[in-house]
Amino acid sequence: MSFGKKIVNIAILSFVVILASCSQSADLATFQLKGKVRKYVINDDTLHFSRSGKLTSMSSGTYSDVYVNHDSDDNISTIICKTSDRTLTIQFVFDKKGQLIQTVEKCSSARNARNACKRNEIIKYTYKNGLRHHESHIFNGINHDEENRNYAIDYTYLAFDSNGNWTKRKLKYNNNGKEFIEQREIFYY
C-alpha cells in the first residue's frame, strides 16, 4: 500500500471514529438525559448506558431479571421485567422525530401468585420546552397494588445539574391532588 493510500485510509478511519463518538443513541433522550451519562439511579432502579448513550442494562429493586430490547432503528422497543411469578413488559412508541410519546405496560402473573396482577396500562406523554410535562395513564385490568382508575400526572422541574439534566421534580396527581418529589442521581463518564 502506498503512503498516500495509508494517509487516506487513516483519515477515513479517524472520521468514522469521530462520527461514531459524536453520534448519540436516542436512549438518553427517552429518559430525558443528555451528555455522557454512564448511569442514573431513581428510586430502586438503576439504568446503565454505553459511552454512545445506548441503554445496556437495568437493575431493579422490584424485579430480579430485566431485559432491554432495541428495534431496527436502534430505539428501545421493549423492556421486560420478571420475578419468579410476575412479568412486566413495557413497549415503547416514538413519533417520527424519535421522541417517546407512549408506553404500553402489560403485567401478568400466575393465577396463584402472591402478588397477582393482570393489567394493561397505556401511558401517553406530552412535552413542554423539551421536558416531559404531562402523562396520562389509562388502565385496563386488575392489579394487587393499584386501583383501576385512570389518572394523569403533571411535572414541575425543581433542580438541574451542570449538564442540564433534571435531578429533582414534583409530580402532581390530578385524581387526588397529591404531590410527590422525585429525585434522580446521575453519574457521567
14 located within any domain = no
pLDDT band at 147 (very low <50, low <70, confident <90, very high): low
Q: Please check whether residue 81 is in contact with residue 64, taking contact to mean a CB–CB distance below 8 angstroms.
A: no
Residue 89 lies in a domain: yes
Tell me the torsion sign for CA atoms 115, 155, 127, 130: negative
* Helices first, then strands: H and E counts in the chain: 2, 12
Domain around 180: 24-188
Contact 29, 2 (CB under 8 A): no
- The pLDDT tens digits for 63-112 are 878 899 998 888 899 999 888 788 889 999 998 888 899 999 888 877 66
Residue 76: partners with Cβ closer than 8 Å, 6 or more residues away: 26, 27, 30, 55, 68, 69, 70, 92
Q: Which helix (H) or strand (E) holds 17?
A: helix 3-22
Residue 36 lies in a domain: yes
Q: What is the pTM of this model?
A: 0.75
Percent with pLDDT over 70 in the chain: 77
Total number of domains constituting the chain:
1
Q: How confident is the model at residue 146 (pLDDT cuts 50, 70, 90)?
A: low
